[in-house]
């Protein structure tokens, strides 16, 4: 189930009365939730069916046409462990696949409001009675192990991304220690599932080697038992030939991926950083040596998720206030009344008698200005008062009309 979340869903807290929507029902990312928010997948989660088929189908063929025959050919009951090992190995591989794709990869909850600006923009020209604009810096410097690292502001999530965090355009989330988005598992690979991702890839490599090896064992046994050539023995078991070709091709893919990620782990890089040549010209602040880097991946505690997808969405206490993304620029007063002007002008108190009197004076003044010596325009004064009504900020229905050339700070829009 897809849904939009009003607050990004941090840790918990029930809404008023406990009857509000759940976080996963209002989730703003592109994720797919299963079992009422207990499992979270990427928007391309259907690719899991393809991946599972590519694992289960050859494993089933191996058990039916190779391992079963080996049970009859092996002496001392050694053929039975081959069958059991294949089944257990396949189940283990599928479990790692689900652990990789069905858990929170390290999503950072979105902010309901942009962060408060830390300084003033001194380049803007403002009047004495106007508040100067405040600008959010696009990049901040953070020191990691004595090396300065730049962190970027995310307009979508309205937060400064922590180091090594990136926004996945497929899932539409900021993910900690973002490695890549894997279409084969239908999920981002990040801080909380990278360990399981590598174990899945590596175990798939071992499963391919296991099937490949015992297919050859079965062919050799046929050759030895019937005293024929290896080619004739291969012709007697077409299932083994198909598995040999399949696993030979697959092992280059998953095996190469295992070796590549082993290199990334030993140097403490992510795929995203490696593809962008992050550390070709400067030092890697996260590299602590091969042993420490490997320990950091496999022997450190996995951080708890920052999202409680089954919690209630907190209901804001002030229903009239609503946050809006500002693309890095913001007013100190983020809350706006529901009836406020969308373009950002400050609300003005409504005084109907006073406004009517002002409009009448404005209409009379405009009528005098437009009257020529023949008096032809005097009758236009009432209509012009209606035009003045729209110009002055009200339409025929009495609603406010914004002059699009001005911002809430009194400076020209777009500067």
Q: List the one residue out of 19, 35, 25, 20 whose CA is nearest residue 5.
A: 25
* Helix extents (H) in 102-237: 194-226, 230-235
Please give the angle made by the CA atoms of 384, 388 and 393, to the nearest 5 degrees. Answer: 155
What are the angstrom distances between the C-alpha of 84 and each of 18, 73, 92, 205, 297? 49, 16, 12, 18, 30
Q: pLDDT: is 347 or 175 the higher one?
A: 175
pLDDT in tens, 289-326: 999 999 999 999 999 999 999 888 876 644 433 444 44
Residue 395 reports pLDDT greater than 70 = no
Q: pLDDT: is 229 or 12 the higher one?
A: 229
Instruction: Report the alpha-carbon distance of residue 28 to residue 107 in Å, rounded.
Output: 12
Tokens of 333: 């007063």
Ranges assigned E (strand) in 266-404: 329-330
pLDDT at residue 76, as a whole number: 65
First to last CA, the chain: 42
pTM of the prediction? 0.69
**Where does the pLDDT of residue 225 fall: very low under 50, low under 70, confident under 90, or very high at 90 and above?**
confident
Residue 94 reports pLDDT greater than 90 = yes
Please give the angle made by the CA atoms of 42, 44 and 48, to the nearest 5 degrees. Answer: 95
SS3 76: helix
Q: List the one residue out of 348, 410, 356, 413 whose CA is nearest residue 388.
A: 356
pLDDT in tens, 46-75: 999 999 999 999 999 999 999 988 887 776
Residues marked active site are found at 182
SS3 26: strand
pLDDT in tens, 230-246: 999 999 999 999 999 99
Beta carbons of 266 and 154 less than 8 angstroms apart:
no
SS3 122: coil
Query: Residue 171: CB partners within 8 Å, gap ≥ 6?
Result: 29, 30, 31, 42, 43, 107, 181, 187, 188
Question: Widest CA span of the chain, in angstroms?
Answer: 124
């Amino acid at each position: 189930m897809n849904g939009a979340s009003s607050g990004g869903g941090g840790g918990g807290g029930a809404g008023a009365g406990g009857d509000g929507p759940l976080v996963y029902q209002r989730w703003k990312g592109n994720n797919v939730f299963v079992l009422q928010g207990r499992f979270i997948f990427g928007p391309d989660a259907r690719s899991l069916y393809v991946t599972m088929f590519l694992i289960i189908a050859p494993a089933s063929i191996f058990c039916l046409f190779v391992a079963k025959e080996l049970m009859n050919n092996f002496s001392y009951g050694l053929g039975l462990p081959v069958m059991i090992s294949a089944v257990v190995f396949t189940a283990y591989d599928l479990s790692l696949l689900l652990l990789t794709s069905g858990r929170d990869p390290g999503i950072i909850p979105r902010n309901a409001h942009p962060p408060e600006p830390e300084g003033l923009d001194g380049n803007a020209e403002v009047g004495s009675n106007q508040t100067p604009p405040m600008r959010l810096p696009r990049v901040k410097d953070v020191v990691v192990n004595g090396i300065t690292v730049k962190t970027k502001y995310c307009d979508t999530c309205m937060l400064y991304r922590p180091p090594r965090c990136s926004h996945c355009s497929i899932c539409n989330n900021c993910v900690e220690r973002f490695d890549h988005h894997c279409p084969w598992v239908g999920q981002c690979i990040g801080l909380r599932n990278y360990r399981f991702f590598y174990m899945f890839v590596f175990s798939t490599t071992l499963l391919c080697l296991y099937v490949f090896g015992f297919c050859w064992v079965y062919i050799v046994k046929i050759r030895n038992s019937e005293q024929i050539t290896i080619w004739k023995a291969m012709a007697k078991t077409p299932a083994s030939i198909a598995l040999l070709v399949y696993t030979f091709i697959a092992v280059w893919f998953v095996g190469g991926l295992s070796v590549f990620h082993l290199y990334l782990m030993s140097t403490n890089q992510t795929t995203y950083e490696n593809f962008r040549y992050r550390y070709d010209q400067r030092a890697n602040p996260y590299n602590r040596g091969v042993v420490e880097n490997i320990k950091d991946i496999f022997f450190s505690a996995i951080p708890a998720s920052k999202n409680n997808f089954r919690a209630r969405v907190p209901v804001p206490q002030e229903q009239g206030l609503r946050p809006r993304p500002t693309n890095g620029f913001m007013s100190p007063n983020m809350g706006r009344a529901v009836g406020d002007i969308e373009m950002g002008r400050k609300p003005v108190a409504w005084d109907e008698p006073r406004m009517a009197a002002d409009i009448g004076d404005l209409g009379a003044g405009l009528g005098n200005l437009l009257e020529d010596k023949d008096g032809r325009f005097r009758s236009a004064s009432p209509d012009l008062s209606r035009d003045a009504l729209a110009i002055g900020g009200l339409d025929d229905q009495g609603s406010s009309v914004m002059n699009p050339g001005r911002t809430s700070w009194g400076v020209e829009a777009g500067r």
